[in-house]
Amino acid sequence: MLCFCPCFDHDNDRTSDLDPVLLISGIGGSILNSKRKKLGFDTRVWIRILLADLEFKKKLWSLYNPQTGYTETLDKDTEIVVPDDDYGLYAIDILDPSPFVKCIHLKEVYYFHDMIDMLVGCGYKKGTTLFGYGYDFRQSNRIEKLMEDLKVKLETAYKASGGRKVNIISHSMGGLLVMCFLSLHHEVFLKYVSQWICIACPFQGAPGCINDSLLTGLQFVEGLESFFFVSRWTMHQLLVECPSIYEMLANPDFKWKKQPEIQVWRKHSTDGETSIELDSYGPVESITLFREALRHNELTYDGRTVALPFNFAISRWAAETRQVLNNAKLPDGVRFYNIYGISFDTPFDVCYGSKASPIEDLSEICHSMPQYSYVDGDETVSAESAKADGFAAVERVAIAARHRELLSDKTVFQHIQKWLGVGQKVSIRSKTSRVSDAHSK
């Protein structure tokens, strides 16, 4: 087969001249397997199409352990593991690699696939100059195991390439993971990392999506295809116990153009008179709303009822994570680039109930559907949050693409090739600046 990648080079010796690349996934961007502790047998539980909801409930529903800081599965006979096949690339390539999905080419589960193909076409070699890092995205972005595994992955890429520093390309929440590592392991980061290309990171949170995820759940796929995926409510019962979700709530200390809000149309009764009012909750006040709305939340597992209220232990942990993120400083000599999405309506404020059908008890929110107000972004992360990295970026580039589609966008590829020094110059569709944001339309 012929390769039509613009940066393809038939000179195999060129591979040895490339600095290694490490791809780091975001939330939901890694294959998760359930492994039996005694027999060692693996079952893929995320993502899978067939029996998705059933296997998710059996193998992935979890509880947070405040003693360890880890979220642990309710099934005590199993543990969640991330496959490290193909030098870590398998877990972040096609998230359901079953023959059926490959046959129908279900684009929703093709994650880093196109970027991996692009980099291989540019001369990168798996296991020598190209690696992937998938992780258990239920956990905190600063939990010890994730930090240690990332350190090992960086060291592996560094040694395999003959002592060359690593170029990190992160997507979405993967940027927060890298930021935590930068903050907590500054000297290790400096030793192994040459440059960091960050794509669609919710640096200051993703308020619209995350607020609603804690209250009503998350639907990764809409329309007819959603029947083959994990349901919104099933996903909700996991996310309530995931530190990573709490760590993406809106940063209350960030100077938003307009503070994100949760709004609730409520029926109030005072002195025998009833009124309907729109109550608003900012990032700090929302904690009270979460507590009230989730106070009756529970699931049934293996014949027993498990309470899942708003988890204040996770909330406190997430507040400490925000301080870790705030303390991150980019080392001298490490180049940082930021790509973020624009031109798509992105949830910001979220509203429950209506004037005609108000919420009487806040617990009703968990069984309602949200209405959003929107800002500019990539449909998941607002441009305001994604470009507020706090670093001295070499370039910030805005691309008109959706959150996941940024990983297969041709203009994104052109920028990455330029920054890695392996491709053609960026097309005239883009305007870039070393001191201001760039926009691709």
Q: Which amino acid is at 253?
A: D
CB 418 within 8 A of CB 426: yes
Contact between 385 and 256 under an 8 Å Cβ cutoff? The reply is no
Which residue among 62, 140, 170, 172 is the active-site one? 172
The reply to whether 96 belongs to the active site is no
403 classed as catalytic: yes
> What is d(CA 243, CA 320) in angstroms, rounded to the nearest whole number?
11
State which H helix or E strand residue 64 sits in: strand 62-65
Q: Which tokens in the block code for residue 239? A: 């996310």
| Beta partners for residue 378, in sequence order | 344
Catalytic residue among 378, 389, 415, 440: 378
Q: Which helix (H) or strand (E) holds 153?
A: helix 144-160
Concatenating the DSSP letter of every residue in 223-288 gives: GGGGGGS--HHHHHHHHTT-HHHHTTS--TTS--SS---EEEEEEEEETTEEEEEEEEE-TTTHHH
Q: Is the distance from CB of 263 to CB of 352 less than 8 angstroms? A: yes
149 contacts: CB under 8 Å, gap ≥ 6: 133, 135
Among 113, 236, 403, 415, the one annotated catalytic: 403
Tell me if residue 343 is catalytic.
no
Residue with tokens 């301080």, as numbered in its chain: 323
Closest by CA position to 280, among listed 259, 298, 297, 299: 259
Q: Which residues are catalytic?
A: 172, 378, 403
